[in-house]
Chains A and B, each alone.
Chain A
């Protein structure tokens, strides 16, 4: 019997080893803590950087990690999602080196030693169905911040009539919000004058893909979503079935050309030059425990300089030169 157990055990082990051998594994470098990395000279960086946090930044971080590893092949990355909350917790606890935080850092977190820089901008946009009977009028007039607040926070606005200025029309608005913990929701709440995601009214939908699907299917619905859910990133146009009701930023009762976004570049531009209000535009931040040094510093610096070129393709807005300089100055 012992021999048979041994045979089976070795079969398992051999399979496991064989599988890993044919895998596309990066060079077997044991996980060395980033702060003990080798000399910060430009060329020979090595070590492992572990990252966790906001799902919004996750795809971007994997691109950055990949590109950085191409330049510095001895550097490896462990990137996880888990949400901004997890990123913050992990960073404070020292479980990861860098946290991806898709919101502003709170003072209590800073007092626990958190250091942060902004690395990119993205934005939340309102969405309605392209089959919405009021779409034309809304696209012409825009919706002011006050009305959005009335829909989502105070609950005073409940009919489409109120939105377009015809109180006799009592067609109800089907208001949708996010039920899962979401940075986008938090931004939208702040835009409406609320404090947190929980202040948002509406039927909860779980996850961004579901939100977009729900709006496409419901002509009377209104919702919100991130840039990269709303625009088809390869084509540059809107995802079929939804339109963005313009936010009447200058409050003139009309939708001006710089408030209307039908292609990705328009939206990008508005967020980048600050025309689009913040919130719901926001800075995405990376957080570390105390000022970063060595490998982490090199990586974050790279993100703020060469790394910015990969952002647009992914649906994120690159920092303006001033914002870049600001972040870089912080790191010194």
Chain B
């Protein structure tokens, strides 16, 4: 059939097809358009980093990097921009969150991956999805209503009696329940679904033959996991933890509501702290009325971005290599 007849063929109930040349043209245009759009993710990362850097330039050129990163005093009205309390505050809260989250999550995901019935998994998955879907501000409200009083009424007195006097990290330094511990607990719950799901996927990459071989030799399941599976997946587990940490680093609202927001370098988990994201969120309104304040805050955002990018890229590369084995 020649081209004209092709054009006029009518398939049942549908419009006649366009000609082949026009379809090819559409294909080519679409291909180009989609290609451009696909460049967007890579471009976006670059644009965001550059934009923040440009806006932070004023303060980076006015003070040395050491002054900014290690300076202890934060008095923007006086022109003093010491980020150290905030950087340390961020690290403390993230560390507590990760420490609290990893052991239960690791155990839970090993159970889900190796032991659980399909039925258990079927129940666990929606629960984890729901935990992940809950908005951060709701986590903050929960933290405010349940965790801060818990720290104040239960954990602080316990620590005062048993731990605080001997171990400085656990000494109770201020009378409110707000602080790093409260923030860490909320963060731990927030990052759990992520850590569990990543570790679960990593365990799934281990071929069953290995397990069967070990079991066939008469080991218990735990022995198999411990000696055969775990060594294989260790990099993946570390990557999952790093991913969880990077998520915790950036969490703004939930932590903001329970961590106390006092710009002082922390010395104990019961101290209040002022993480970088909270600094940015709390003060965006004042940004433009004090000189260099906006550059400082956007510079804080830049620091946050760079650290998270590094964590993210490294852990994603490791995980991509793992998951490809499937």
Contact = CB atoms under 8 A, between A and B. Distances in A.
Interface of A: 81-83, 85-86, 88-89, 93, 174, 179-181, 196, 198, 203-206, 210, 214, 217-218, 221
Contacts, number: 64
A203 B262 contact: yes
B175 to A, nearest CB: 5
17 contacts: A82-B285, A85-B285, A85-B286, A86-B287, A86-B288, A179-B274, A198-B75, A203-B174, A203-B175, A203-B262, A204-B260, A204-B262, A205-B178, A206-B178, A206-B262, A206-B272, A210-B176
A89 B287 contact: yes
Given A86-B284, A179-B261, A179-B272, 10 more contacts: A86-B289, A174-B175, A181-B282, A181-B286, A204-B260, A204-B261, A204-B272, A205-B260, A206-B262, A221-B175
A181 B176 CA distance: 19
Contact of A85 (B175, B274, B289): B289
Contacts of B77: 196, 198
B290 interface: yes
A185 to B, nearest CB: 12
Contacts of A85: 285-290
A86 B286 contact: yes
A180 B281 CA distance: 11
B282 A180 contact: yes
Given A83-B285, A86-B286, A89-B289, A179 B260 contact: yes
A212 to B, nearest CB: 12
B289 A88 contact: yes
Interface string B270-293: 001010000000111111111000
A206 B290 contact: no
Interface string B88-104: 00000000000000000
Nearest to A221: B175
Interface string B175-193: 1101000000000000000
Interface residues of B, number: 23
A82 B282 CA distance: 9
Contact of B176 (A81, A89, A180, A214): A214
Most-contacted residue by chain A among B282, B284, B289 (CB, 10 A): B289
Contacts of A221: 175
A81 B285 CA distance: 9
Nearest to B74: A198
B14 to A, nearest CB: 12
A262 B166 CA distance: 44
A93 B75 CA distance: 24
Contact of A206 (B78, B261, B284): B261
Interface in B238-291: 260-264, 272, 274, 282-290
A188 B272 CA distance: 23
Given A89-B288, A204-B272, A206-B260, A181 B175 contact: no
Contacts of B285: 81-83, 85-86, 89, 181
Contacts of B264: 204
B265 to A, nearest CB: 13
A179 B176 contact: no
A206 B256 CA distance: 10
Contacts of B262: 179, 203-206
A102 B286 CA distance: 13
Contacts of B287: 85-86, 89
Contact of B175 (A82, A198, A206, A214): A214
Nearest to B148: A210
A247 B7 CA distance: 94
A198 B77 CA distance: 9
A132 B28 CA distance: 80
Nearest to A81: B285
A29 B135 CA distance: 33
A97 to B, nearest CB: 17
Contacts of A181: 282-283, 285-286
Contacts of A88: 289
Contacts of A214: 175-176
Contacts of A204: 260-264, 272
B24 to A, nearest CB: 19
Contacts of B174: 203
Most-contacted residue by chain B among A81, A174, A206, A210 (CB, 10 A): A206
A295 B290 CA distance: 30
Given A206-B178, A210-B176, A93 B288 contact: yes
A217 B175 contact: yes
For the complex of A and B, 5 pairs with smallest distance between CB atoms: A86-B285, A204-B262, A85-B286, A89-B288, A82-B285
A304 B282 CA distance: 32
A221 B176 CA distance: 12
A93 B288 CA distance: 10
A180 B261 contact: yes
Contacts of A93: 288
A210 B286 contact: no
A181 B261 CA distance: 11
A314 to B, nearest CB: 22
A83 B283 CA distance: 9
Contacts of B284: 86
A253 B283 CA distance: 41
Nearest to B73: A198
Contacts of B274: 179
